[in-house]
Chain A
């Protein structure tokens, strides 16, 4: 096995949402040891969520769970029970990072707030992820992904373009809204882990999903404050001919902000006569005529396949691309060539093609050290092997619903 970047970094995950699980997955994939804590008996919510192979639900076969928890160990524990909290504290003693995504005050209520945990382990980097942060008037408000995507300005600008402001804003597809704040959280956590390597000290990090998402839209978010402009999902702020266009077998998207890119796009579609007229002479003229120009481009696109458009367009250095479905992603030659997919072996699911990571490190490549944990898979290893409980203790903990 090759070296990993985060070798030796110990992380405890006590999370319920995709955000917390994905944040720790990123670090597990980079080589950190992540111990995921799941509720005894039922396990993580993601275990009950689709997709399942053959559409047959099974707690060890959820695609969402398998994806979010690769490279992690898993234990079951209920820290809300006294003995559970005691075991939790023992686990914290030599941890570098704790990531939790309970409501504000939830950890304090069970005696596991930062002040308490800091006493046990001053080097702990504790990260708390909440929808709106731990202070301010909305701190106790509830939010699911649809809500955070709207609370951040993200959904209000989607879909782009919308046919009319009478149609509702939509959230980004899949679980994108919960993935986003995970990226932001990892940046702060790893910066704090880096500092710990220098100073030995931990600290408390607060992540508000709403604010993480606002930061992902940081340019759009301040347009009103700075210029009084309110951008919306009609996409009229700076029209460029192109954008999302139907083609023979799907959709493509084209962007040509620079003159030479526009010229290659015109070359791609055969330098039509209309492209020699004044309405195409510079990007200002093109912006004014964006709608009719786009319609003319579309008539060409509709006669060609997305593959053809992609290859021929890119050969001319046109920033143009097909809209990939999951099938297209799996079949992408580029991703194949980059070994974006690997085959993993899971004890219950069997062999499975699996997406890897968006980076290639020259010395510490992505690797699968273990597939997602079975429910309570690491109980014995952690509780007996590391914390010194006996197997007899474990039986009693189980009876009491603690593990």
Chain B
């Protein structure tokens, strides 16, 4: 692994005051694209993803053992500043002065109380781009409301729309934060392009619940246009039929099959050895197939249950039918296609050891996105920033450490 930023954002420095998932992954994406990301954190109140994983239920005894933290903070640098002390805030301002972008995801108002509001940041760096991300946004009657990924999915409408018709709606976990993170990342890029053109920075207020609501825009318009409240409907979509996950041979093994055209329908009938279905009046067009889906699903399941999911995929795809196994983490890791494309990458981490992470989600021909370094150990880059870049003396740093300012 090279230790160089060669991505398109080379030369951009981002300083972040973030924790959990939504803030850290936003800058992680930009870091994979070549930006230098400096994480300001403190032993006083650790990013909880350093200490435990809500996702896997694992708890750690030290701040550098978390594979979850590693995955969301790749390529970054870490400095420790105890922001409850005024002297730490002054040092943080020096970091702001040498940054292009600031990202924070505390409760609205908190970063300002700590002494690094947008107004303060703009004083030390007039063209700064400053993004605040929180649950409901920086304004409005609910601005102080607290939340996590599941509440964003709930308020944004994703939960209400997802699940079986005969069972409560679905919860969503941390991955919902990554939608918010990706939205933050593109908003920052748009602001960087604006700054490139005009020389001006700006403030961006990002609301996690809104990042989800915009992804159900047409469902919202159905209510606005027709007063219709759409609800969860399993795997149904438009009048696509058949469309579902069908049981395969083995425990919790399924294949997803989706038929959109007459051509695909005919191919499906023939490949599952039921050419007579093509002449069956109940299934004569997609609307009829949609209304008789239960009967159709029964017939298809009788075929899929005799096959392993991968085998079924091959047979169906060869015939031109969209089909793919329902993959879990093991399937993903062992999948030959994902292997061929290098989707998982092994990172050497000094404490975690060898840690598999997901490679960047894009291929750029000239300036590839890269993972060149594990997530930083807590305070790993204190010397680099405080001594080498900001020019403090060793003695000064030692005093600040004793006073729990660099902490």
Contact between B141 and A218 (Cβ–Cβ < 8 Å)?
no
- Smallest CB–CB gap between B261 and chain A, Å? 10
Residues of A within 8 A of B117 (CB): none
B225 contacts partner chain A, Cβ-Cβ < 8 Å:
yes
CB-contacts of A195-224 with B (<8 A)? 195, 197-198, 201, 203-208, 210-212, 214-224
Interface size class of B (residues with CB under 8 A): 35 or more
Which residues from A are CB-within-8-Å of B260?
A: 144
Are A335 and B364 in contact, CB atoms less than 8 angstroms apart?
no
Chain A interface, number of residues (Cβ within 8 angstroms): 153
Instruction: Kindly name the residue among B213, B320, B333, B362 whose own CB sees the greatest number of chain A CB atoms within 10 A.
Output: B362
B235 touches A170 (CB 8 A): yes
Note all chain B residues with C-beta closer than 8 A to A30. Answer: 190
Interface stretch of the complex, out of B82-90, B195-203, B286-294: B195-203
Whether B205 pairs with A150 at a CB distance below 8 angstroms is no
Interface residues in A69-95 (C-beta closer than 8 Å to B): none
CB distance from A29 to the nearest CB of B (A): 9
Interface status of B230 (Cβ within 8 A of chain A): yes
Per-residue CB contact flags for chain B residues 182-206 toward chain A (1 = under 8 Å, else 0) read 1101110111111011101011111
Q: Are B200 and A363 in contact (CB under 8 A)?
A: yes
Over the window 159-173 of chain A, the binary record of Cβ atoms lying under 8 Å from chain B Cβ atoms (1 yes, 0 no) is: 111110101111111
Q: Are the C-beta atoms of A235 and B171 separated by less than 8 Å? A: yes
Instruction: Tell me if A270 is interfacial: C-beta within 8 Å of chain B.
Output: no
Secondary structure call for the B interface: mixed
Query: What is the bound-complex CA distance between A241 and B252, given in angstroms?
Result: 26
Task: Tell me whether A147 and B323 are in contact (CB under 8 A).
Answer: yes
Taking A168-B235, A170-B234, A319-B146 as contacts, is the C-beta distance between A144 and B258 under 8 angstroms?
yes
**How far in angstroms is the closest Cβ of chain B from A290?**
11
Contact A326:B358 (CB < 8 A) given known A220-B55, A223-B56, A231-B55: no
Any B CB within 8 A of the CB of A394: no
Comparing B36-44, B160-168, B383-391, the segment that makes contact with chain A is B160-168
Partner of B167, one of A159, A183, A193: A159
Comparing B273-281, B338-346, B372-380, B397-405, the segment that makes contact with chain A is B338-346
Interface core residue of A64, A163, A187, A257 (most chain B CB under 10 Å): A187
Nearest A residue (CB) for B217? A67
The answer to whether residues A221 and B240 also contact, given A136-B340, A208-B341, A327-B229 and a CB cut-off of 8 A, is no
Contact partner, A156, options B144, B205, B326, Cβ 8 Å = B326
Chain B interface: which of A3-11, A35-43, A273-281, A376-384?
A3-11
Contact partner of A51 among B145, B151, B218, B317, CB < 8 A?
B218
**Contact across chains for B146 and A318 when beta carbons are under 8 A apart:** yes
Chain A proximity of B268: nearest CB distance (Å): 12
A76 and B206 CA atoms in complex are apart in Å by 36
Residues of A within 8 A of B333 (CB): 222, 224-225
A340 sits at the interface (CB 8 A): yes
B1 at the interface (CB under 8 A from A): no
- Least CB distance, B332 to chain A, in whole angstroms: 5
Determine the distance from Cα of A173 to Cα of B215 in the docked complex, in whole angstroms: 10
Contact A188 B33 (CB under 8 A): yes
B332 near A334 with CB under 8 A, answer no
Contacts A169-B254, A221-B332: A51 and B225 contacting too (C-beta < 8 A)? Answer: yes
A287: chain B residues at CB < 8 Å are 57
Nearest-CB residue, chain B, relative to A184:
B361
B175 interface residue per 8 A CB criterion = yes
Q: Is the CB of A359 within 8 A of B205?
A: yes
A137 part of interface (Cβ distance < 8 Å): yes
> Known contacts A208-B341, A330-B224, A360-B205: does B320 contact A150 (CB below 8 Å)?
no
CB atoms of B361 and A207 under 8 A apart: yes
Are A230 and B72 in contact, CB atoms less than 8 angstroms apart? no
A329 touches B213 (CB 8 A): yes
Contacting pair B367 A203 (CB below 8 A)? yes
Q: Is the CB of A141 within 8 A of B317?
A: yes
Contact in complex: B163, A170 (CB < 8 Å): yes
Partner of B162 from the list A6, A147, A159 (CB cut-off 8 Å) is A159
Give Cα distance in the complex from A186 to B360, angstroms: 14
> Which chain A residues lie closer than 8 Å to B143 at the CB level?
334
Q: Is B15 an interface residue (CB 8 A)?
A: no
Given A132-B337, A176-B216, A324-B154, CB of A219 within 8 Å of CB of B175: yes
Tell me if B207 is interfacial: C-beta within 8 Å of chain A.
yes
Judge whether B327 and A151 touch: CB under 8 Å.
Answer: yes
Q: Is B173 in contact with A160, judged by CB distance below 8 angstroms?
A: yes
User: What are the residues of chain B within 8 A of A326 when measuring CB–CB?
Assistant: 157, 160, 216, 219-220, 222-223, 229-230
The distance from the CB of B234 to the nearest CB of chain A, in whole angstroms, is 5
Whether A153 pairs with B328 at a CB distance below 8 angstroms is yes
Q: Is the CB of B235 within 8 A of A243?
A: no
Of all chain B residues, which has the CB nearest A258?
B48
Chain A residues contacting B361 (CB-CB under 8 Å) are 184, 188, 207-208, 211-212, 214-215
A154–B57 alpha-carbon span in the complex (Å): 19
**CB distance A323 to B337 under 8 Å?**
no
Interface centre among A31, A49, A114, A214 (most CB of B within 10 A): A214
Q: Are A26 and B186 in contact (CB under 8 A)?
A: yes
**Also in contact, A187 and B155, with CB within 8 A (given A137-B336, A165-B252, A327-B229):** no
Kindly identify, within residues 297 to 316 of chain A, every residue whose CB is under 8 Å from any CB belonging to chain B. Answer: 314
Q: Are B57 and A359 in contact (CB under 8 A)?
A: no
Are A221 and B161 in contact, CB atoms less than 8 angstroms apart?
A: no
Q: Which of A104-112, A349-357, A385-393, A395-403 contacts B (4 or more CB under 8 A)?
A: A349-357
From the candidates A5, A114, A224, name the one contacting B328 in the complex (CB within 8 A).
A224
Residues on A with beta carbons closer than 8 Å to the beta carbon of B285: none
Which residue of A153, A235, A238, A317 is within 8 Å of B146 (Cβ)? A317
Contacts of B30 in A (CB 8 A): 187, 191
Most chain B CB within 10 A, of A135, A192, A218, A319, is at A218
A138 and B224 within 8 A (CB): no
Q: Assess the B55–A147 pair: CB atoms within 8 A.
A: no
**Contact for B137 among A55, A183, A216, A334, CB less than 8 A:** A334
Residues of B with C-beta under 8 A to A67: 217-218, 221
A210 to B325, CA, bound (A): 13
Q: Is the CB of B327 within 8 A of A174?
A: no
Q: Determine the chain A residues whose CB is within 8 A of the CB of B159 once the complex forms.
A: 244, 251, 253, 323
Which residues on the B side are within 8 Å of A212 (C-beta)?
A: 361
Decide if A203 touches B323 in the complex (CB within 8 Å). no
Pick from A5, A142, A188, A232: contact of B322, CB below 8 A: A142
For B364, list chain A residues within 8 Å (CB).
188, 191-192, 203-205
Chain A residues with CB below 8 A from B168, complex form: 244, 246, 251
Within 8 A of A (CB), among B220-249: 220-226, 228-235, 237-238, 240, 243-247
Measured between alpha carbons, how far is A342 from B344 in the docked complex, in Å? 43
**15 other contacts beyond A191-B189, A318-B146, with CB at 8 A cut-off?**
A51-B225, A55-B226, A147-B322, A150-B256, A153-B332, A168-B234, A188-B362, A191-B9, A192-B367, A211-B361, A221-B344, A230-B330, A314-B146, A333-B141, A355-B213
Complex A-B, nearest 9 residue pairs according to Cβ-Cβ distance, in ascending order = A173-B161, A238-B57, A159-B170, A63-B221, A195-B8, A51-B222, A190-B189, A224-B329, A358-B210
Name 17 A/B residue pairs within 8 A (Cβ), A-sorted. A50-B222, A51-B218, A142-B321, A147-B322, A149-B256, A173-B216, A187-B186, A204-B364, A219-B68, A222-B329, A223-B55, A229-B329, A231-B55, A322-B155, A326-B157, A327-B229, A358-B210
